[in-house]
Structure 1
Amino acid sequence: MVVFPSFFNIKSFKLTVSGAVCATTLARNGISVTLFDSARGPGGRMSQRREITEDGKELLFDHGAPYFTVTNPDVLSVVAEWESSGLVAEWKINLGSFDCFSNKFVNFEHQERRSKKYVGVPGMNSICKTLCHEPGVESKFNVGVGKFEWLENENLWLLTGLDGQNLGHFKGVVASDKNIVSPRFTEITGQLPPLDLSLAPELVKLQNIPVNPCFALMLAFTDPLPMVPAKGFSFTNSKVLSWAYCESSKPGRSSTSERWVLHSTMEYAKDVIAQTGLQKPSRETLSKVGNEMLQEFLGTGLSIPQPFFKKAHRWGSAFPAASIAKDEKCLWDEKKRLAICGDFCVSPNVEGAIVSGLAAASKLKGMLRSLF
C-alpha cells in the first residue's frame, strides 16, 4: 500500500508492481509517499526466492511471474526507461509446447512472431526493490495494515497496524491488494478485512473476485538438461503441469547450476486447496505437491535426472479470473481520496498491473490540484 504522510499513502499486503509504479509516479510529482508491506520485501508475484542448500549453496528463483510482455504505449515508455537503466533486460527465448500424450514437443514460436519477453535484473523483484527506494518514497516492510479509518471531521485517513500500532494520519490511500474488503482475508488470517465496506460501498466489486491458484516447484540440477530443447514451454494434456521455465537461462542470472521453475495447472491447485484449505499449507502438503509435480516432469521421457534441490510454493490467488475496472483501470473514491489498483482491475499480468498503478497515480495527481 502507498500512503502519503501528510499527503498520501500506498498500502499493499505484498508490495506489487502496481503499488510500486503508483508510488514512484507520485513521488516524481513532488508527493511524499509511504509504503507499508506485511512481507519482508517487495514483489508479490514478482518476488524472487532465495534458498540455501544443505551444503551452503545459494539458489535464486523467480518463482512467480517468469517474465512479462508489453503492448500498451504508456507501459512501453516506462519499461524503456527501466531497460536503459539496466533494471530489466530482454529474455531472448523461443517458447515451445510439450504434449504429454505423445511425449513430444509439438510447437515452437516463430522467430519473426516472437514478442519481447522482459525480466528484472538480476531478479524479477529488482524492479519493485528499486522503485520502492526512489527519492520521495519511504518503505516500511514487516508492517501490515490491520485497519483503515476515515476521520470525517478531519478529512483524513487513520491507519492502524495489525499489532494495534498507530501508523499515522494520511490525506489519501492507495491499496494494491484485492482482499482489502474481501471475506477471503478473514478465511486466510482469521481477522476482519482492513477496510469496512460501509466506508466505500462502491468497492463491493472487490468482495468476491474469482481467482485461479497455482503451485510453483523450484528445482536445481547439477548440469544442464541436454534433452530439453526449449528454455521455456507449456504443457498440453497434463493434469498437473502447465509451464516450465529455465531460470538460470535468464539475463543476469548465475549459471553455476541449472535451475527450473514448474507451474501447476489451475485445476490441480484447486483440487489440492479443496482438500487442505486456504490456510498456509503444511510441509507435508508442499512435499506431496512437489513430488507429484516432479514425477510429471520426469515422466516426459526427456531423460531428466533427479534434482539436487526441490521445493514447492503455493500461490493461493495467483491470477484474478475477472477484471473489475477495465475502462477506469483502477477503483477510485474521489471524496475520500481512496484508490485501489492491481492486475485484477485491468488484466491478470504484469502489464495490467502497471497500467492500473499509473491510473491510480493519475487520479491522485489530479486531486492534488484541488488540495494545494
Structure 2
Amino acid sequence: MNSIASKVAVVGSGISGAVCASTLAKNGVSVTLFDSARGPGGRMSRRREISEDGKELLFDHGAPFFSASDDDVLKIVGEWEAKGIVAEWKQSFGAFDFASKGFLNIEQEQASKRYVGVPGMNSICRALSNETGVESKFGVGVGRIEWVDDEKSWSLTSSDGQQLGHFRGVVASDKNIVSRRYTEVTGSPPPLDLSFAPQLVAKLQDIPVIPSFAVMLAFAEPLSSIPVKGISFRNSEILSWAYCDSDKPSRSSTSLFGSERWVLHSTAKYAATVIAETGLKKLSSETLTKVAEQVLSEFQSTGLEIPPPFFMKAHRWGSAFPGASIAAEERCLWFGEKKVAICGDFCVSPNVEGAILSGLAAAAKLSASLSLVHSL
C-alpha cells in the first residue's frame, strides 16, 4: 500500500465532523480536518465581541446546550464530562405565552439533562480536533474534491487553488459542499461533484432548511424579573426562544465582566421573511441592526422589565436547522466504492445528538472499509 492508504480528509469541524475525525484517529486512521472558519465548532461556535467600553463578551450564539438519550452518545458525553470539556447545566426553563403575557409553566424537574461545553460550546469540537492523529487546518476552504482514478484516491484543492493533498477517503460533514446552495452563495460549483453516485444526489437534493437569527445581548445588571434561565416562546411571530448564556457552568461571572449575557433566537418565519428580502449574500450592518432591534423589542414586550442592553448584535444562521432527516436508519450517506461519507444532523435528527450519531456512523463506515483494504 502507498502512503495515502489510511489518510482521510474530513471537511467541516462542526460536532459531526469533529466526532468523526476523532473516532477515526482512535481507530488508527490518519485524519486531516479542514474548515474555512478560524476555529472549530460550526453551529457550536462561540462568538467573541468587544463592547464600546472595551469589555470582552463571549456568546454561544449557535446551539445553547444539548441533551442525549442514545447509549453510544451518553458514553461519549460521559468521557467528555470526565475530561472537563462538558458539564451539566442545572437550571429551570419555562414557556412564555405572548397571548396571555405570562408563563404557562416553569420546570420543577428537568425531563433530561442539559449539557454545555466548558468554557464554551466550541470547547468540545476544539478538544476533538486537537486529539492525537487529527491534523486540523482552519482558515482553509476546500474548493475542489476530485477523484484520481489511477491512484484510487481523492485530490483536494483549496478555494484559492492550493493543493491540499491526496486522501483515500473523504467525509463531508458540511452538506453545502455538495449542494446547490453553495453555488447560490459563492457563484461557484459545489466542491464535491456527486454525479458518480446518483442515489446520494437524490437524497441530498433540496433538503429543506430552517433559518434563524441569533441576537446577542449584554445587560449591565442581571434580569432579575425573569424567573428562569431559558425560555421558549409561544404565539410570537418574531421570538422563538432565549437563554441566559452567562449563567452556564464555567462562564465568566457577572461580577467579573459587569454584565449578564443573553442570546435570543428568532422564529423561522421571521428569519425567512428577512432572507426573502435580502437574499443569501452577506447582510449589511443596517439590516442586522434592524433585526436586532426588532427581536429585542419583542423580548421587551413580554413586560418582564428588560432594560436597554449596553451591547446588541445579530447573527444570521441561514440554514440553522435541517427540516428533514434523510438517513435516519443508516445515520450517514455512504458510497463505499470511492469511500465517501456524508454526515451531519440532517441525516439523523436536527440536534447535537443527531450530529454526533451521524459522525460516529461515518467513522464506522470508513474504518471498516479501510481495515478491509489493509487486510487484502
Give the counterpart of 1:306 among 308, 326, 341.
308
1:77 aligned residue: 75
2:112 aligned residue: 115
Which is worse superposed, 189-198 or 246-255?
Answer: 189-198
Q: Offset at 1:11?
A: 3.2
* TM-score, normalised relative to structure 2: 0.96
Give the counterpart of 1:181 among 166, 178, 182.
178
Give the counterpart of 1:289 among 274, 277, 291.
291
The 8 Å contact of residues 146 and 161 in structure 1, kept in 2 or not, is answered as yes
2:87 aligned residue: 89
* TM-score, normalised relative to structure 1: 0.97
1:279 aligned residue: 281
Alignment-mate amino acid for residue 97 of structure 1? A
Q: Give the 4+ runs in structure 1 shifted more than 4 A.
A: none
Alignment-mate amino acid for residue 178 of structure 1? K
Q: Deviations over 1:119-150 (max 9, x none)?
A: 00000000001110101100001111111111
Which is worse superposed, 281-290 or 120-129?
Answer: 281-290
1:213 aligned residue: 211
Equivalent position SS for 2:145? strand
Taking a change above 3 Å as real, the CA distance of residues 223 and 165 of structure 1, as seen in their structure-2 partners, is same
1:21 aligned residue: 19
1:9 aligned residue: 8
Alignment-mate amino acid for residue 165 of structure 1? Q
2:187 aligned residue: 190
The 8 Å contact of residues 170 and 340 in structure 2, kept in 1 or not, is answered as yes
- Unaligned 5+ segments in structure 2 are none
Equivalent position SS for 2:192? coil
User: Percent of aligned positions with the same letter in both sequences?
Assistant: 66
Equivalent position SS for 1:209? coil
2:29 aligned residue: 31
Q: Offset at 1:5?
A: 5.4
Q: 1:103-182 alignment to 2 at 5 Å?
A: 103-111=101-109, 113-182=110-179
Q: Offset at 1:94?
A: 1.5
Q: Offset at 1:361?
A: 0.6
- Unaligned 5+ segments in structure 1 are none
1:349 aligned residue: 351
The 8 Å contact of residues 11 and 145 in structure 1, kept in 2 or not, is answered as no
State how far apart, in whole Å, the 1-side matches of 2:344 and 2:248 are.
26
2:361 aligned residue: 359
State how far apart, in whole Å, the 1-side matches of 2:46 and 2:171 are.
24
CA RMSD between the two structures: 1.2
* Residues 1:268 and 2:270 aligned together: yes
Equivalent position SS for 1:297? helix
The 8 Å contact of residues 210 and 321 in structure 2, kept in 1 or not, is answered as yes
Count of aligned residue pairs for this structure pair: 367
1:334 aligned residue: 336
The 8 Å contact of residues 5 and 34 in structure 1, kept in 2 or not, is answered as no
The 8 Å contact of residues 181 and 207 in structure 1, kept in 2 or not, is answered as no
Equivalent position SS for 1:98? strand
State how far apart, in whole Å, the 2-side matches of 1:148 and 1:236 are.
44
Alignment-mate amino acid for residue 8 of structure 1? K
Alignment-mate amino acid for residue 159 of structure 1? L
2:317 aligned residue: 315
Q: Offset at 1:6?
A: 4.8
Alignment-mate amino acid for residue 265 of structure 2? H
Alignment-mate amino acid for residue 8 of structure 2? N
State how far apart, in whole Å, the 2-side matches of 1:324 and 1:303 are.
43
Q: Offset at 1:202?
A: 2.3
